[in-house]
């Protein structure tokens, strides 16, 4: 039932190409902005923005890994990679401000962020459940299992779609607050915009990849029910 299918790469090609381009742009703009000095480190900028927003109770902690920066709504903590945490560069303050943007969304009850939280289990377990159900459905020639598997993968697609406004809004908040608080000058603002816009394209590519993957498997298994009949 499973074999090398050129149609998979044909359907997924736009997403793969977009992701490769987006990742190149992220690395390129990030490397450039890491060479541009800023008046504060990433951690200091995050702390300053949080305090100005009345979020003095939100902690900032360093975390392992490169570009592993994230905000955890579970413990209301901004986690910054070591390089971003300590570096006094435009890239560091831009990424830190983006993560603080998520903390601000959480504090203000930003609806898409709450919707994304509900969709996290579907994104985490959906692909694994999809694989199990697809394999069982294919082996047993059971269309209902196939449909359930496709629905499970659809949860990941929903998560990716809901995630887009969350990420773009956090980036917009970061760009705005960095300029309003004079953390970056005009040239720095341009560099921050380049880094965050490049990162935004990776989310678009991930969403497109998830949607096209689902489309491929719908196409791949759409005839199974008819075959049983």
Q: Give bridge partners of residue 81 from the DSSP assignment.
A: 63
Report the distance separating Cα 61 and Cα 202, nearest Å: 25
To the query of whether residue 99 is one of the catalytic residues in this protein, the response is: yes
Catalytic one of 61, 66, 99, 167: 99
Q: Using CB atoms within 10 Å of the CB of residue 75, give its burial: 0 to 12 exposed, 13 to 18 middle, 19+ buried.
A: exposed
Q: Cβ contacts of residue 177 below 8 Å, gap of 6+? A: 49, 52, 53, 97, 100, 101, 183
Residues 150, 146: Cα–Cα separation, whole Å: 6
Distance CA 60, CA 83 (A): 14
Q: In whole angstroms, what is the distance from residue 122 CA to residue 200 CA?
A: 22
Annotated catalytic residues are: 99
């Amino acid at each position: 039932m499973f074999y090398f299918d050129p149609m998979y790469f044909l359907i997924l090609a736009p997403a793969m190409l977009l992701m490769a381009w987006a990742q190149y742009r992220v690395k390129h703009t990030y490397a450039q902005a890491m060479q541009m000095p800023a008046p504060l480190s990433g951690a200091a900028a995050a702390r300053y923005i949080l305090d100005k927003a009345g979020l003095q109770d939100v902690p900032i902690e360093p975390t392992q890994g490169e570009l592993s920066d994230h905000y955890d709504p579970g413990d209301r903590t901004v986690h910054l990679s070591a390089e971003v945490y300590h570096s006094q560069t435009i890239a560091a303050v831009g990424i830190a401000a983006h993560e603080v943007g998520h903390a601000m969304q959480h504090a203000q009850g930003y609806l898409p962020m709450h919707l994304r939280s509900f969709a996290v289990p579907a994104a985490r377990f959906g692909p694994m459940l999809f694989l199990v159900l697809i394999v069982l459905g294919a082996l047993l020639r059971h269309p209902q299992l196939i449909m359930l598997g496709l629905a499970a993968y659809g949860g990941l697609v929903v998560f990716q779609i809901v995630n887009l406004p969350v990420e773009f809004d956090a980036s917009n908040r970061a760009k705005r607050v960095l300029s309003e608080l004079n953390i970056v000058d005009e040239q720095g603002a341009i560099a921050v915009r380049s880094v965050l816009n490049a990162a935004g394209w990776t989310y678009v590519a991930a969403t497109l990849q998830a949607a096209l993957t689902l489309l491929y498997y719908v196409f791949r298994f759409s005839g199974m029910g008819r075959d049983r009949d």
